[in-house]
A and B are shown apart, each in its own frame.
Chain A
Amino acid sequence: DAGVTQSPTHLIKTRGQQVTLRCSPKSGHDTVSWYQQALGQGPQFIFQYYEEEERQRGNFPDRFSGHQFPNYSSELNVNALLLGDSALYLCASSPGWGYRGEQYFGPGTRLTVT
């Protein structure tokens, strides 16, 4: 049973550029959440996708957007990158709308903005 996978593992971008991160959920899960984790901090919720729509959003600007595909995989897009966007980006999956139980996380993508 494949767990949550993310790509790429590491990424280096320049300020002002755009980046796309990818996530495949755990088998049987249809809901994908994205988190940002700055160095030394706990993960912060960005948004959640279910049935190809953004359903919930944390306190992040519109520069952060996403997409979910019919196979439940998801992308996180960040435009106009800032130095402060440097972080570990985590994807988590869970089963079903309204389920607030355990989430399963991927290994993360380490984004460095220079």
Chain B
Amino acid sequence: DAKTTQPTSMDCAEGRAANLPCNHSTISGNEYVYWYRQIHSQGPQYIIHGLKNNETNEMASLIITEDRKSSTLILPHATLRDTAVYYCIVRLRYSGGGADGLTFGKGTHLIIQP
């Protein structure tokens, strides 16, 4: 799995868009970008994933640069409930030899300010 780099922490005002960056310069052609978040003392929650194209779901949007070396998770209208640690993980979607566990880095602690 490609190594990822994220800022340690970020602040965002409630109601504004929160943009969380992730660098993954060693990503290979068939590795996907996944985002999870973990609200304090809860289990991680899958948010979104993408390969090349930008993706959007009911929770967030994912923008992947053309060279795929970085991406941005966008929470369009952040609320206080979006305060959490956000993890960017890069890995293959399928493996003929089975699957191993997710490797979580330190993530970005996003704090939504009222």
Query: Cβ of A56 and Cβ of B32 under 8 Å apart?
Result: no
B103 in contact (CB, < 8 A): yes
Query: How far is A59 from B28 in the complex, measured between Cα atoms in Å?
Result: 25
Cβ–Cβ contact B99 & A48, under 8 A:
yes
Cβ contact within 8 Å between B41 and A42? no
A78 beta carbon closer than 8 Å to chain B: no
Q: What band does the interface of chain A fall in when counting residues whose beta carbon is under 8 Å from B?
A: 20 to 34
| A10 to B67 Cα, complex, angstroms | 45
Q: Dominant SS at the A interface?
A: strand
Give the shortest distance, in Å, between A97 (CB) and chain B (any CB).
6
On whether the beta carbons of B106 and A101 are closer than 8 Å, the reply is no
Asked whether A97 and B99 contact (CB < 8 A) given A42-B87, A105-B45, A108-B43, the answer is yes
User: Does B92 sit within 8 A of A, measured CB to CB?
Assistant: yes
Interface size grouping (class) on chain B: 20 to 34
Interchain pairs with CB closer than 8 A, number: 81
Residues of B within 8 A of A110 (CB): 41
Given A90-B43, A102-B49, A108-B43: A45 and B34 within 8 A (CB)?
A: no
- How far, in whole Å, are A97 and B96 apart by their CA atoms in the complex? 8
B100 and A43: CB pair below 8 A? no
Q: Complex formed: what's the CA distance from A58 to B43 in Å? A: 19
Give CA–CA (A55, B106) in the complex, Å. 26
List, in ascending order, chain A residues with CB within 8 A of B107's CB. Answer: 42
A100 near B92: Cβ-Cβ < 8 Å:
yes
Neighbouring A residues of B104 by C-beta, 8 Å: 42-44
Q: What residues of chain A have their CB less than 8 Å away from a CB belonging to chain B? A: 4, 31, 33, 35, 42-48, 50, 55-56, 58, 88, 90, 92, 94, 97-108, 110
Q: Which residues of B contact A (CB under 8 A)?
A: 32, 34, 41-46, 49, 85, 87, 91-107
